Structure 1
Amino acid sequence: MATSPFTQAIGAEQLMLAKMDAMKAHVAPQFVVTANPIDHRIEPSVAPLSFADAVNRVLTQVNAHQSHASDKMTAVELGQSDDLVGAMVASQKASLSFDALMQVRNKVVGAVDEIMKMPV
């Protein structure tokens, strides 16, 4: 009596599943997921952050990047520092943060325009 290909496929699948279960039982005790210890140290913020506060923080950070880059470039220009690479990296970082700020600003302005166009 010949077995059909369907029966052979089911038998092969059962054999493969049995082997996978055996490997899973062998590996499972070694792999234990625990809580992240950093999560316990982070204090939840008491008050939620308002949009105005978030924008103010971002503006302060962008301004800090700009002034840091300016200070580094001035130091290089005056000969007080020879870290030209650091000055250029700071300048690019400031430029990138300003460009990102402008993109967010444009999105917010576009969203406000869309809201203003909505019928009441």
Structure 2
Amino acid sequence: MGTELAGLIRADLAALTNDANRLAVVAPAVDGGHPTLGDGNGGFSFAQSMKNALVSVDQDQQVANQKMADVDSGKSDDLVGAMLSSQQANLSFSMLMQVRNKVMGAVDELMKLPV
């Protein structure tokens, strides 16, 4: 059972890595709503929830970049709002990295389990 679970987690992580690479190349169009969890059939998908988190973090970063660019170019004088957006994007990314680190630690522990 441990081997099967480790295989599923590895497959999900590989899918997430591929999606993250694609996200870095071409950012998908994201609507303003909150991403949904699961596969649409009421089930929970770890891979889908991580994809949604990646999209959310990317969207936060894009908003922060736009606000900073507007302040830099003089289109906006909302420096406080731009800084808050920047900090929110930074915290979102840090949280995502902590989740990733915990998942990778769990995978390592699963790999160490005796079969």
What TM-score, normalized to structure 2?
0.64
Distance, in Å, in 2 between the alignment partners of 1:110 and 1:52 is: 17
Distance, in Å, in 2 between the alignment partners of 1:76 and 1:89 is: 13
Which amino acid is 2:44 matched to?
L
User: Taking CA–CA contacts closer than 8 Å with sequence separation of 6 or more, which of the two structures ends up with the larger relative contact order?
Assistant: 2
- Structure 1 residue 51 and structure 2 residue 62: aligned? no
Distance, in Å, in 1 between the alignment partners of 2:44 and 2:58 is: 20
Distance, in Å, in 1 between the alignment partners of 2:96 and 2:85 is: 16
Distance, in Å, in 2 between the alignment partners of 1:111 and 1:60 is: 23
Structure 1 runs (4+) deviating above 3 angstroms are: none
Unaligned residue ranges in structure 1 (runs of 5+): 1-44
- Structure 1 residue 60 and structure 2 residue 52: aligned? no
The share of aligned pairs that are identical, in percent, is 55
What TM-score, normalized to structure 1?
0.61
- Aligned Cα RMSD in Å? 1.1
Q: Equivalent of 1:85, from 59, 80, 86?
A: 80
1:115 is aligned to 110
Distance, in Å, in 2 between the alignment partners of 1:107 and 1:49 is: 19
